[in-house]
Amino acid sequence: MEEKMINIEKIEQIKEKISAYMEEKMGLTPEECYVVSSYISKYYMEEIENQSSGLVNGDIDVDEKEDNEKSKENDEDYPDEEEDIDGIPPPPRMRGRPKKKINLKPIMKKHNLKVRN
C-alpha cells in the first residue's frame, strides 16, 4: 500500500513537471496541460496496476484472452456482416463470376457445333 502512495506522489510530481514544460515550451493553456498530464498519469497508473498484478508490458489478462477468443468465434459465425444503415440492408457482395446462366445452344448452332444434353 505504501508503494502505491509513493508511486502516486511520483506521478503527481511528473504531472506538474510536464504541465510546466508544456506551458513554457509549447505555449499550451493550463487547461490543455491538465488534460494531457491526466492522460499521462492514467497511463502510468495502469502500468503500476499491471506490475502489481504481475503482468508485464504486452501480457494479456486471462479475461482478455477469453474475450478475444469469443469475439473470434463470433466473427467466424457471421463473416463480413455489415450493419444496417437507417434500416437499409447493405447490397449483396459479388464474389467470383456472376451466376448468370448462358444458353449455349444458339451459339453452338451458329458455329455448326453439336450440342450435348
What pTM was computed for the model?
0.36
Q: Which residue has the cell 506522489?
A: 9
Instruction: Report pLDDT digits (tens) over 31-75.
Output: 887 788 777 777 777 777 777 666 555 555 555 556 656 555 555
Where do the DSSP E strands lie in 1-117? none
Domain containing residue 13? 2-57
Q: Is residue 73, in this structure, part of any structural domain at all? A: no
Q: How many domains does the chain have?
A: 1
Q: Is residue 32 part of a domain?
A: yes
**Residue 44, domain member (yes or no):** yes
* Other CB atoms within 10 A of residue 44 CB: 16
- The verdict on residue 50 lying in a domain is yes
Contact 29, 19 (CB under 8 A): no
Domain membership of residue 100 (yes or no) is no
Question: Which of 102, 100, 80, 101 lies closest to 92 in space, CA to CA?
Answer: 80
